[in-house]
Chains A and B, each alone.
Chain A
């Protein structure tokens, strides 16, 4: 009987939210937005600027073997001519007339000091890159030995191995290892928080419009909460599954399209951690937000307090660099076990290093324990605060609620 009731609540919550335009738009719109946004970024990076060319005045003699006009074509097929000038006045005049973007003076002591002086009001980034490529090729060509071709690209690939040689990753695979947890973290965060904030607003709203009073006559507070958490959790899971599928689809497409990516594979251990961690993480956040929802009297207050939970969860992203540099530091180990930060940090650590099994197990147990504890607290607070209006629970009352 009791089971049936929470099931009804869950089915109801899932049913109304999954059909909402906002949910559908977010679920389908986010991947679309990502794809379009990414495409536009690439497009603008490639075609956002129209370089006219860069002039140069060589006082060091390093370019004496080069023709007077060299066209550098970058990876995105944009041509940048490099034009030799013999005196600065001519180059300045051409820059002022906007025939070239600017010019650079290579001083006589360039090889010793490395300093270059450019004059331009707005040197496009493509032109800077072209100048770099040009100088590098020139300097490599000036070297006469058999090894010269290698000098234009000294390192083409680095295969990283763990000390025991058990795992190997190319650069591209390494980048993938780095970004997969990052992407999952975003999915996680958005998915968990959409469903949890639905949960909180639903609770507060039902309190505000007195629906809660009717519900309270026929269902126990804990079943009500469990039903809501379950239904909305399923909602979040649906959303994340669709996003993951979309990301995987795009990745597979890219793999077909670019042969360079053929050797890449998604790190399965990261995906596994994500799956295992999602459910307790969601329950924890959902229960925390239910507690807040039950304790406050207005949606506005609830949102401010829930901000703290979201900040706590997203905080690992801020010191991600530190965790990556030092995946076994105290900070990294602590945040990968601390319940709110664990999912994101643990995924990151598993991706880039070998995490001892006991840490993973401990993190999971702590996570599950915290979720259960928080559910219990939420149930207590809900029972105490669900019918209180106009006034949020004080800390003392919260204490009373917990003691029962």
Chain B
């Protein structure tokens, strides 16, 4: 046992002293900060507001900046102007032009970011034409919602903008309360806000676990292969049993991964408190300490699962190049949750999410995601965790078999046959 600990300590300290480790540790957050700063610098505030739902501050700021959001030319006769029911600050966002030429001139002078034409056959077809310097299919969302509401209001008998708003986005103000226990409805967030937070949070947790599990497991593989390649392992094996070597390395590198992730989380926490916008979005979902605890448990179990698999690869592969092919097979299951991210987040209790919770190779990530963004039945957590623990035990036994001196020392090419032989012992 002492040997295991000393190997773990050596492995941990050895990596801690490498400059490349610190470069990754501090470089990644710095790079992310720089990128997000650069990214925001050119971003004119991508508000996707609908009049009446946008914050008054936002609209006021835009008007103060003297920027009408949209111009339009009506050829159908359906939109004679901005209905009186529009709030004054919303009405100020529009510029109506009598002809396309006038609108073109305004666009050239940069008075408006773009304009729409409501053609004569609009009522039968529902088609609009938009003139704007860019083709961006998503960027015109705000302009389009402005045009949509002015048309809809004009089509109504009542010419009531509030009715039009309800008609266009009937569930924008939806709040979903849990059945039991009854909660104070003031504390429940808007469903759209909650969904947005769920996306950010779910993606965040998935990436966090993926990176931490996979990075520590790959470090293990690299360390093993490196020692095999430069024959250090032969010296080490003369004084330590393969099992102790494996356990020591797994423990040391696991700690290293945990350390790295903790540092990242601390930096991220600090940065998020500074960037209030993201924080406001994220606060729509409370991450309880229980979820963090579950995340820690899932990290440990997930790491043990993938570290055992990587150790198996490390035992049979002789060079980095050989191992990278085998790694691909192991990586696939952990990528699945990332591939189906959107499905898992929009349907946290759907069939796919449930199935992936029970598959031990995908469970560490999916379980944490589901726990973070929705209420997950306790028995499902239990079954999932039990499955992972059982897999860890099984894989540890198998890895110990493969991880024998004769496998580690032989220079044979990795093959399926050799793999099975090593398993049989």
List residues of A whose CB falls within 8 A of some B CB.
20-22, 25-26, 37, 40-41, 44-45, 47-49, 92, 95-96, 102, 104, 110-125, 128, 131-132, 135-136, 139-140, 143-145, 147-148, 150-151, 153-163, 165, 167, 169, 171, 174-175, 177-178, 201, 205, 208, 298-301, 303-305, 307-308, 311, 315, 318-319, 321-332, 351-354
Contact A205:B347 (CB < 8 A) given known A118-B175, A163-B133, A352-B134? no
- Contact residues in A for B286 (Cβ distance below 8 Å): none
- Contact residues in B for A143 (Cβ distance below 8 Å): 155-158
- Contact residues in A for B116 (Cβ distance below 8 Å): 158
- Contact residues in B for A125 (Cβ distance below 8 Å): 346-347
Contact indicator A44/B39 (Cβ below 8 Å): no
Contact indicator B177/A304 (Cβ below 8 Å): no
Among B263-271, B304-312, B319-327, the one that faces the other chain is B319-327
Contact indicator B179/A161 (Cβ below 8 Å): no
Q: Which of the residues A37, A95, A104, A147 comes within 8 Å of B155, measured between beta carbons? A: A147
Q: Which of the residues B43, B123, B172, B340 comes within 8 Å of A114, measured between beta carbons? A: B172
A323–B42 Cα distance when bound, in Å, is 8
Contact with A along B115-135 (1 / 0, CB 8 A): 010000001011111111111
Contact indicator B40/A121 (Cβ below 8 Å): no
Contact A153:B175 (CB < 8 A) given known A111-B163, A163-B107, A305-B20? no
| Number of B positions contacting A (CB below 8 A) | 90
Can you list 26 contacts pairing A with B, beta carbon distance less than 8 Å?
A25-B328, A37-B340, A44-B340, A48-B343, A49-B350, A95-B179, A102-B176, A110-B166, A115-B173, A150-B126, A155-B148, A155-B151, A160-B131, A162-B133, A201-B324, A205-B321, A208-B229, A300-B320, A307-B24, A318-B35, A318-B39, A321-B39, A322-B40, A327-B134, A327-B136, A353-B134
CB closest chain-B residue, reference A296: B20
Contact indicator B171/A124 (Cβ below 8 Å): no
Among B137-145, B378-386, B402-410, the one that faces the other chain is B137-145
Contact indicator B343/A41 (Cβ below 8 Å): yes
Contact indicator B144/A44 (Cβ below 8 Å): no
A115–B31 Cα distance when bound, in Å, is 42
Contact A298:B177 (CB < 8 A) given known A44-B352, A324-B136, A326-B42? no
- Contact residues in A for B180 (Cβ distance below 8 Å): 121
Indicate if B98 sits at the interface (CB-CB under 8 A): no
- Contact residues in A for B185 (Cβ distance below 8 Å): 117
Indicate if B38 sits at the interface (CB-CB under 8 A): yes
Contact indicator A147/B78 (Cβ below 8 Å): yes
A328–B132 Cα distance when bound, in Å, is 13
Contact A162:B135 (CB < 8 A) given known A114-B172, A151-B167, A300-B226? yes
Contact indicator A104/B174 (Cβ below 8 Å): yes
Contact A44:B343 (CB < 8 A) given known A321-B39, A325-B46? yes
Contact indicator A124/B350 (Cβ below 8 Å): yes
- Contact residues in A for B125 (Cβ distance below 8 Å): 156-157
Contact indicator B134/A40 (Cβ below 8 Å): no
Q: Which of the residues A44, A115, A118 comes within 8 Å of B177, measured between beta carbons? A: A118
| Additional A-B contacts beyond A26-B328, A167-B135, A323-B42 (18; CB < 8 A) | A37-B340, A48-B352, A48-B353, A120-B176, A128-B174, A157-B127, A161-B131, A161-B132, A163-B131, A163-B133, A165-B131, A174-B137, A177-B137, A201-B320, A299-B222, A300-B222, A318-B36, A318-B39
Contact indicator A145/B135 (Cβ below 8 Å): no
Indicate if B170 sits at the interface (CB-CB under 8 A): yes
Contact indicator B127/A158 (Cβ below 8 Å): yes
A318–B33 Cα distance when bound, in Å, is 11
Contact indicator A156/B127 (Cβ below 8 Å): yes
- Contact residues in B for A144 (Cβ distance below 8 Å): 157
Contact indicator B136/A178 (Cβ below 8 Å): yes
Contact A44:B137 (CB < 8 A) given known A22-B324, A163-B107, A299-B320? no
Contact indicator B166/A111 (Cβ below 8 Å): yes
- Contact residues in B for A300 (Cβ distance below 8 Å): 222, 226, 320
Q: Which of the residues A116, A118, A158, A331 comes within 8 Å of B144, measured between beta carbons? A: A158
Contact indicator A139/B350 (Cβ below 8 Å): no
Indicate if B152 sits at the interface (CB-CB under 8 A): yes
For A124, A151, A330, the residue with the greatest tally of chain B CB atoms inside 10 Å of its CB is: A151
Contact indicator A160/B140 (Cβ below 8 Å): yes
Contact indicator A116/B319 (Cβ below 8 Å): no
Contact indicator B31/A311 (Cβ below 8 Å): yes
For B170, B176, B178, the residue with the greatest tally of chain A CB atoms inside 10 Å of its CB is: B170
CB closest chain-B residue, reference A106: B170
- Contact residues in B for A49 (Cβ distance below 8 Å): 347, 350-351
Indicate if B235 sits at the interface (CB-CB under 8 A): no
Contact indicator A155/B39 (Cβ below 8 Å): no
